Amino acid sequence: MSTKDLDGNYRGVFDGRLGFGRKPCLLIVDFIEAYTTPGAPLYAPAVAEAAASTVPLLAAARAAGLPVLFTRVEFHPGGADGGLFVQKIPVLRSLVAGEPLGRIVPQLAPGPTDLVLTKNYASAFFGTSLAATLTASGVDTIVLVGCSTSGCIRATAVDGLQHGFRVIVPRECVGDRHAVPHEANLFDINAKYGDVVGIDIVMAHLASLAEGPTARAP
């Protein structure tokens, strides 16, 4: 099926838009050095590019006063808390406390008021306090960035929607190991679980928040 046929097949059925709600947050999923360090087993050049593209977005989120949250992966030695996930992907067992490749990339270093959650599985919601934390803060929209598009981003987008959050994915700020799963999962997220948009749209919205309510008045 061609792209034109695919778009036509989804049109009018899977092309709804959620848009931004009243209070967004920025959720940065697993932008750790394991994915951005050449020679590392998990290295993916597209992820390194996505992390670099997120730098101005993080600055805009801070300027707008958005809550900023990070996730990183960490297991106990041997990966007992990783269950079947680390059996399926044994390289994950290397992400233990003190492993340099498990650190968040320096250009996106968390600030003193940012929350860093440790997760053991794909979704940032599974086995973490993320949903309760966002709900308690009044957040209704997640600007979702990170890696990988076909794994942790997709899983987090699905769970985000299922927990009642609007999910906005700036496409320049997510990455994967290969373009095919990356594009396929962006298509699916946009069709069913959130809005995949250009970073310029997100930046413009955050700029309006930074300018105050009068800038958003019709």
**What average pLDDT does the structure give for the chain?**
93
Q: Are 70 and 104 in contact (CB under 8 A)?
A: yes
Say which of 25, 147, 152, 173 is annotated catalytic: 152
158 and 169 in contact (C-beta within 8 Å)?
A: no
Q: What is the pLDDT of residue 216?
A: 44
- Exposed/middle/buried for 132, CB within 10 Å: 0-12, 13-18, 19+? exposed
Residue range 101-149, pLDDT digits in tens: 999 999 999 999 999 999 999 999 999 999 999 999 999 999 999 999 9
Rounded Cα gap, residues 45 and 64, in angstroms: 30
Class of the CATH domain delimited by 21-216: alpha beta
Does residue 173 carry a catalytic annotation?
no
What's the pLDDT band for 215 if we cut at 50, 70, 90? very low
Residue 214 Cα distances to 63, 122, 218, angstroms: 17, 39, 9
Give pLDDT, residue 104: 98
Over the stretch 12-42, which tens digit does the pLDDT of each residue have?
A: 667 778 999 999 999 999 999 999 999 999 9
Radius of gyration of the chain measured on its C-alpha atoms: 17
Q: Write down the pLDDT at residue 217.
A: 39
φ, ψ (nearest 5 deg) of residue 32: -110, 165
Please tell me the distance from the alpha carbon of residue 167 to that of residue 173, in angstroms, as a whole number. Answer: 14
Reported as a pLDDT band with limits 50, 70 and 90, residue 5 is: low
End-to-end CA distance of the chain: 42
pLDDT recorded at residue 7: 67
Closest CA relative to residue 28, chosen from 173, 205, 188, 161: 173
Structure confidence at residue 15 (pLDDT): 75
**DSSP characters for 96-164?**
BTT-GGGSBPGGG---TT-EEEEESSSSSSTTSSHHHHHHHTT--EEEEEEE-IIIIIHHHHHHHHHTT
